[in-house]
Amino acid sequence: MRRKAENRQCGAPTNCWTLTEAPREPILTPSARISAAIEILDDIFARRRPAADALKDWGLAHRFAGSGDRAAIASFVYDGLRRRASAAYLMGTETGRAVIIGMLRLQRGLAEPTIAGLFDGGRFAPAPLTDDERKRLIEGNLTEAPPEIAGDAPAFVLPSLAAAFGDDLMEELRALGRRAPLDIRINTLKQSREEAAAALNDLGAEPTPLSPLGLRIPIGEDGRGPALHVDPLFLEGGFEIQDEGSQLASLLASARAGETVVDLCAGGGGKSLALASLTGNGVRLIATDADPRRLAPIHERLRRSGAEVEVRTPRTGKARADVLADLDGTVDRVLIDAPCTGTGTWRRNPDAKWRLRPGSLANRTGEQAEVLDRAARLVRPGGTIVYVTCSVLPEENDAAVDGLLTRSGGAIASVATDLTAVPGLSDKVRRTQRGVQMSPALTGTDGFYVATMTRIL
């Protein structure tokens, strides 16, 4: 029997805590879980802290809560964050209580009598609904709400989102407010997708709609998925947990056997592992990252997977040196999975949008320019740069590519991204001036952007 746990996806904060102990039976009533979620949201709002930290602290202070309780509470919290602006608008105030009440109506579709039954004032339950709360639940709507409220997005990014999505803005914002699916990428160095699907048959695994490498695992109504991180096939390196959009971005990198490929912002190594699997370890693959701490997980993942990747970890402090200097002008293909605001991942990491600030965008675009310039020095004449973000903001996507083209003085040129590696994808993506944009509404994936460039001088 597979042990149940949380939905762990793409390294982002998720809807539940990681389980390291055997699951414990839930002991809290639904009303008590809602009370806990209200308490946690109030903590998040007051201290402007990440949801994962607030959830962890609550769990440590309430160790009696079973794993099912904690999962359900986290689901309430994350759904509340998904509808934070619209729920507060509906209820006329932004408190944990108001956001939960509004979310139950807007996100979960509960009617006023059902919500009132959960807010009955009983032991550990929230206080009964007030007359005003009942009226707002019955009569309130979002008809007159501005787009940043109806779409639950920070107002300052609305112009950028409108530029990216045009007439599809509200559809995309609604899609970014839904829960993300649970996808895995099969490691074809170990077995085929069909063999993995058979091994995971008891989990209801089905092929992902677009990626030929993926399987989708059903999750429960509370957003909870199976404990894939303790599944025998995972421990043997048979698969990695990776959103279908990230899988597609790896495919669009179009790495070819015999090439030297640098994964410049490798982080935990997700795309390095994907490229090794796609090419059957047929490329010389070098992975590095400006922050050596982000590289820490890659070593264990490489051990499990059988992927052949040369990891170059930069030193810190005064002894810091460029670990790629010997490769300048010789690399066939550079993959940049660039640091970004993560606006394309809001459906799985909803609290990130409320912690986003204008200064964050400026910082990220500066970092993107830096890694693009480094890639331009690495790639040989005729070589390829593949630029990837999990952002839907044009400033981080086309504008970043335009910046490199300008700075290169004609040495770097933009070329069309080849979509033939993924049948059916060309009809799903948005084509921008410089690349392609995936999105929850169009591709059913996180909002990944991919652009391809080549060095011509």
- For 391-403, b/e burial (b = at least 16 CB within 10 A) is bbbbbbbbebbeb
**Separation of alpha carbons 110 and 371, rounded Å:** 47
**Separation of alpha carbons 442 and 426, rounded Å:** 11
SS3 label, residue 189: coil
Question: Is position 351 annotated in a ligand binding site?
Answer: no
| Residues counted in the chain | 457
Residues with Cβ within 8 Å of 334's Cβ and at least 6 positions away in sequence, in order, are 261, 262, 264, 375, 378, 379, 383, 384, 385, 386
Indicate the helix (H) or strand (E) that contains 260. Answer: strand 260-263
Is 390 tagged catalytic? yes
**Separation of alpha carbons 330 and 332, rounded Å:** 7
CA distances from 390 to 163, 258, 345, 437, 448 (A): 17, 28, 7, 9, 4
**Separation of alpha carbons 163 and 166, rounded Å:** 6
- Both tokens of 275, joined, read 């490229």
Residue (of 84, 81, 51, 76) closest to 126 by Cα position: 76
**Separation of alpha carbons 422 and 410, rounded Å:** 30
Question: Is position 53 annotated in a ligand binding site?
Answer: no
Torsion angles phi and psi, residue 307, rounded to 5 = -70, 140
Residue 133 in contact with residue 116, Cβ under 8 Å?
no
Torsion angles phi and psi, residue 385, rounded to 5 = -115, 125
Residue that has been written with the tokens 């990220």 in this structure: 364
Residues with Cβ within 8 Å of 132's Cβ and at least 6 positions away in sequence, in order, are 92
The one catalytic residue among 10, 16, 265, 390: 390
Residue (of 416, 438, 440) closest to 427 by Cα position: 438
Burial of 176 (0-12, 13-18, 19+ CB in 10 A): buried
Residue (of 438, 379, 444) closest to 249 by Cα position: 438
- Both tokens of 198, joined, read 């058979």
Q: Which amino acids are annotated as binding site, given as ranges?
A: 289, 337
Catalytic residues, by residue number, are 390
Q: Which amino acids are annotated as binding site for S-adenosyl-L-methionine, given as ranges?
A: 289, 337
